[in-house]
Structure 1
Amino acid sequence: MDDEFEFADKVPPSLNDRMENMIKDAEAKGFNPGLIVLLLVGGLLLMFLVGNYLLYMYAQKTLPPRKKKPVSKKKMKREKLKQGVSAPGE
């Protein structure tokens, strides 16, 4: 009976070699696919933001300033009355 349990704690060499090879292959595979996707999406987002900033800076330099809306005579009269200056023609 003692002879039956003599090899119970030993692993066959072929199984041990396969396990070691699997561990080596797992380490040699490279980047995690999730990490690659994250880097790709982050890179695209960064390029988008930098591109928008560069376009904004270019537009600030090249586009003419906006024209202001003309103020109506009614509003000018009201503003002058608020300041205490009499409107012309009164």
Structure 2
Amino acid sequence: MAERFINTDADGNVIIEEAKKGLNPGMIVLLIVGTVLILFLVGNYALYTYAQRTLPPKKKKPVSKKKIKRERLRQGVAPPGE
């Protein structure tokens, strides 16, 4: 519903102005962008949780024999044959 303002000008004439109530264009754009952003974040979270439940765990790379030998030497275990 429109709000009415009654004013008088310099000559004494009565002027009735109607101001429309409603959302301004900036607010509409803000609501649309906010809604899209929230939907994007909720969708990403849903996909992430779905992937965590359904995908198999990531395979680890095999450790090279060179690294195993180096780690044993660090721990003080003599390699076999020495």
Gaps of 5+ in 1: 1-8
The match for 1:40 is 32
Residue 89 of structure 1: CA displacement? 3.3
Partner amino acid, structure 2, of 1:50: V
- Percent of matched pairs sharing the same residue: 64
For the pair shown, which has the larger CA radius of gyration, 1 or 2? 1
Residue 27 of structure 1: CA displacement? 2.9
More helix by share: 1
Match of 1:27 among 20, 45, 48: 20
Gaps of 5+ in 2: 1-9
Partner amino acid, structure 2, of 1:27: K
Partner amino acid, structure 2, of 1:75: K
State the TM-score, normalizing by the size of structure 2: 0.80
Map residues 4-83 of structure 1 onto 2, 5 A cutoff: 9-13=10-14, 16-17=15-16, 20=17, 24=18, 26-28=19-21, 30-83=22-75
Higher relative contact order (CA 8 A, sep 6+): 2
Hey, what's the Cα distance between the residues in 2 that align with 1:87 and 1:11?
Answer: 109
State the TM-score, normalizing by the size of structure 1: 0.73
More strand by share: 2
Hey, what's the Cα distance between the residues in 1 that align with 2:26 and 2:81?
Answer: 76
